[in-house]
A and B are shown apart, each in its own frame.
Chain A
Amino acid sequence: MTDVQLDPTKRGYWTSDQEVRWCPGCGDYGILAAMQFMHTELDVKREETVFVSGIGCAARFPYYMSTYGMHTIHGRAPAIATGLAMARPDLNIWVVGGDGDMLSIGGNHLIHALRRNVNMTILLFNNQIYGLTKGQYSPTSEVGKVTKSTPMGSIDRPFNPISVALGAGATFVARTHDMDRKHMIQVFKRANEHQGAALVEIYQNCNVFNDGTYDPILKRDNRANMLIDLEHGQPVRFGADGERGVVVVDGQARVVDVADVGEDALVVHNESQDDPALAFALGNLANDNESPTPFGVFRAVDAPEYAGAANQQLLAANEASGPGDLGELLRSGATWVVE
């Protein structure tokens, strides 16, 4: 064993001995690196960390972390992680999946894990395409997407993952992207600290089947005018000199020139607002890859965590009836003696 494998502050400690098999140039590499580097800064134990994934390119993630891991079934990771979280509230659980895994075949499990507020951090790698099955359109692909299964263009209207999560009552919702390690680490940390279910959408480039889909937003030259950094308690504004901003009128968020409306008209971001309306409005600001798009934490509110609440019931039952006695249970109905 080498030194880095014994030192939790080194990336190598968080890296498994398995060869990473994503396509060269895949955005997943950047996310994996961010996750491993982030762990070097955290005060968590490797043995208490579990990565659970479904099926898809993203879902190979657990094999590359040196923690405990389960690579499970297409779409089912949030459900499997829910059982693990209930049985073992002491663990730090991460769930990893792509847009097909989480929003198509696994959409049901995702929304229920979010509404229950089970303590897990769900990373949704959104590349707007099916990669592992070689390039079919996904539930986040834009209308008109031409793929092998949609030669005349897709006619499905896409999900906005932020809206789905907010609609499901998620208590923590954020977005980041695969090109900014610092931002990813910052968002992952906050999501991990959150008590309950956290959803992090990660804009991730599939350089083989959907290369450059986010370029209009994320190409370095475009970022200043297209990437909106959400900051709690701050007016929402962007642009090279902060010359653009966001106002909310009649519940709808709109991009404006600050000069036209004045600084005071800009909406002030409040991630801890109980009512998700503002987060929803900000999430809906961009439903395509052509509009300025917010990144950061949309919502972070406190609510009872599920496994903890379930445990409370066990304790309350124990308090009310005493620890269970099997013999007593068997005799708890009407009984009679045969001599």
Chain B
Amino acid sequence: MTDTVDRVDETTLDHVVIRFAGDSGDGMQLTGDRFTSASALAGNDLATLPEFPAEIRAPQGTLAGVSAFQVHISDHDIHTPGDAPDVLVAMNPAALRSELGRLRSGGTVILNDDAFDERNLDKAGYAADPRDDGTLDGFIVHRVNMTKLTLDATADLDVKKRDAERSKNFFALGLISWMYSRPTEPTLQWIQQKFGKIEAVAAANTSAFKAGHAFGETTEMFGSPFKVAAAPQRPGLYTNITGNTATAWGMVAAGQLANLPVFLGSYPITPASDILHELSRLKNFGVRTFQAEDEIAGAGSALGAAFGGALAYTTTSGPGVALKGETIGLAVGMELPLVIIDVQRGGPSTGLPTKTEASDLLMAMYGRHGESPMPVVSASTPAECFHAVIEASRLAIKYRTPVILLTDGYLANGSEPWLLPDVDSLPDISTTFTTEPNGTDADGNDVFLPYLRDEVTGARPWAIPGTPGLEHRIGGLERQHETGNVNYDPANHGLMTDLRQAKIDGIAADIPLIEVDGPGDAEILLVGWGSTKGSITAAAERMRAEGASVDHIHLTHLHPFARNLGEVLSDRKHVFVPEMNKGQLVKLLRAEFLVDAHPINKVMGTPFTASEIIDAINDRLLKAEAEA
């Protein structure tokens, strides 16, 4: 870019964790997202953790309004967005105050110096200026006049001062892009693509980005840039994907693999709405999306569509699952395919809408009245959401049952590089509608028996309206075995209850066996499910590096369990179950297998760090030793 390029001598890092933090209006999510994309294109392995307030615009400059985006980039395989950031970019005092505690000791702080005026310090609750009072001792601090430099860079453009100021996040992005030797071209292209229609904004963002980059390059302040080499990855074509996008794409894929039209009935709810948004723009796949009047209608419309022969979904978060419970129960009774996707968030009630938690497992298992068993499936990484939707759909279609898929806020908004699957390698999950009578009545006439079960799967036939001769009525009242007619007979209710249970239990024979990550016979077994996979994997790796013998299994199927789970759990000295709840899977494991599994819990709206898991295990081991 300039003649100073000669003095650039890159220092190589194997990984770095950067946290961008600012006011909700400062564009931190966008900045983090762009940095992530550029890093993905540079071939790094990466993991991200976006964190933002539930309010769209919390009062400016306050702690409540701080929005942050953490990204971990690496030249090797990583599993988490990083325990403690190495670098904190703080766009205002509130961001500094709220985020500094996370930074590793000796880490780097980059401040927008212009934002540290009396008013903002006051709003952040700083009695004294943290830049001078020793707060930042022990950190490497760079004070940069980001606002002023952005205004200077855009002075020649026809942009209002207020609008120009808004580009300061691109200044920060330019600076960090220089510091970590990110390619600039993709971001410049992206600015054109995104803002090209409003020329002034595109120009201001471009100038600010270039100015930030040049600032890093030309000032002595930052020394040389760092390089994080590409991670060795399996060869192939990659894209960077969030869990919600992967979920929506999984629905499109499942529709094609099942050869059924996709229907989504949904009601807007954080953090699930992006699935509805993404699917709504894919209408050329024949996908029907319906924004219903409420959560109940979201599920209801989907069940109606399923009766009509669609591959039906409803997407929501915990509060929505509570409302859909009665409809899900009806789907259990009607034995129709329906996939309920719960992007879990902090609860109870409205709880923490934008924060992650995995506390809906027991609701997924038992949150309906009566004996109403149904499969529960979970996804463990953003990209895995794609395959998890296909698996949930496969079970729903094959066994004519509602299935709950659990993802969470961390998976939904977090992203990772995804080695794109070969479309031809995806499973065939197609089914056939019944078109002919399947029984005879007492007089020898051909009749249709809507609850005549498949001998292997226990599933009933799916005959859709429009099929002549198979007209039938199904409903919420208990149905007679085989005929489906309303029936109050005690023996029939007992039989139907058993048949429904047996059908779901039988799915255990049709799901993959659990594979153990580790030696296979380690004294310590870590059992996880959902988005804790990265943290538990990282914890297990570190413990092994220190000489411990550790196995890790991660469950994708939570009901029914894989048929070898009991065996894998047996003969362990210690079984630990880290969960982002107060101990839900651990209850199921103890109840089902009488195993002395020990819970490790975190319910704080943020994912586990690997160190938290290791510390909890070590505490417990010390206690166990002391007791012995």
Give chain B's interface secondary structure class: mixed
Determine which of B37, B301, B334, B486 lies in contact with A86 in the assembled complex, contact meaning CB atoms within 8 Å: B301
| Residue A46, interface by CB 8 Å | yes
| Residue B475, interface by CB 8 Å | yes
When C-beta atoms are compared, the residue in chain B nearest to A306 turns out to be B290
Q: What's the Cα separation between A51 and B307 when bound, in Å?
A: 12
Determine which of B306, B419, B423 lies in contact with A327 in the assembled complex, contact meaning CB atoms within 8 Å: B423
Contact flag A79-B301 (CB < 8 Å), given A112-B293, A317-B284, A324-B285:
yes
Q: What's the Cα separation between A79 and B476 when bound, in Å?
A: 16
A72:B471 contact, CB within 8 angstroms? no
Q: What's the Cα separation between A70 and B306 when bound, in Å?
A: 12
When C-beta atoms are compared, the residue in chain A nearest to B469 turns out to be A47
Determine which of A83, A91, A317, A333 lies in contact with B300 in the assembled complex, contact meaning CB atoms within 8 Å: A83
| Residue A90, interface by CB 8 Å | yes
A338:B239 contact, CB within 8 angstroms? no
* Interface hits, A304-339 → B, CB 8 Å: 310, 313-314, 316-318, 320-324, 326-327, 329-331, 333-339
Q: What's the Cα separation between A330 and B287 when bound, in Å?
A: 16
| Residue A96, interface by CB 8 Å | no
A62:B473 contact, CB within 8 angstroms? yes
* Interface hits, A49-91 → B, CB 8 Å: 49-52, 55, 62-63, 65-73, 76, 79-88, 90-91
A331:B235 contact, CB within 8 angstroms? no
Q: What's the Cα separation between A80 and B302 when bound, in Å?
A: 7
Determine which of A84, A310, A326, A334 lies in contact with B307 in the assembled complex, contact meaning CB atoms within 8 Å: A84
> Which residues of chain B have C-beta atoms less than 8 A from A49's C-beta?
465
Give the bracket for the number of chain B residues in contact with chain A.
35 or more
Mask of B276-305 contacts with A, CB within 8 angstroms, 1/0: 000000111111101011101100111111
Smallest beta-carbon distance B237→chain A, Å? 6
B297:A338 contact, CB within 8 angstroms? no
Q: What's the Cα separation between A334 and B186 when bound, in Å?
A: 9
> Which residues of chain B have C-beta atoms less than 8 A from A73's C-beta?
300, 326-327, 330, 476
B261:A87 contact, CB within 8 angstroms? yes
B475:A72 contact, CB within 8 angstroms? yes
| Residue A108, interface by CB 8 Å | yes
Smallest beta-carbon distance A184→chain B, Å? 22
| Residue B234, interface by CB 8 Å | yes
When C-beta atoms are compared, the residue in chain B nearest to A69 turns out to be B473
| Residue A232, interface by CB 8 Å | no
Contact flag A47-B238 (CB < 8 Å), given A63-B486, A76-B297, A335-B420:
no
> Which residues of chain B have C-beta atoms less than 8 A from A326's C-beta?
252-253, 256, 285, 423
Mask of B251-266 contacts with A, CB within 8 angstroms, 1/0: 0110010000101010
When C-beta atoms are compared, the residue in chain A nearest to B281 turns out to be A317
Q: What's the Cα separation between A91 and B327 when bound, in Å?
A: 22
B253:A1 contact, CB within 8 angstroms? no
Contact flag A47-B467 (CB < 8 Å), given A70-B475, A87-B261:
yes
When C-beta atoms are compared, the residue in chain A nearest to B286 turns out to be A314
Subset of 27 A-B contacts with CB under 8 Å: A1-B445, A48-B465, A50-B307, A51-B473, A63-B486, A70-B474, A70-B475, A76-B297, A79-B293, A79-B301, A81-B304, A83-B312, A86-B288, A86-B290, A86-B305, A88-B465, A90-B466, A91-B465, A313-B283, A314-B283, A314-B288, A326-B423, A329-B252, A335-B420, A336-B238, A337-B237, A338-B235
Binding site for A on B (CB under 8 A): 37, 40-41, 43, 186, 230, 233-241, 249, 252-253, 256, 261, 263, 265, 282-288, 290, 292-294, 296-297, 300-310, 312, 326-327, 330, 334, 419-421, 423, 443, 445, 464-477, 485-486
Binding site for B on A (CB under 8 A): 1, 16, 18, 45-52, 55, 62-63, 65-73, 76, 79-88, 90-91, 108-109, 112, 310, 313-314, 316-318, 320-324, 326-327, 329-331, 333-339
Closest 5 CB pairs of A and B: A71-B475, A83-B301, A83-B304, A324-B285, A69-B473
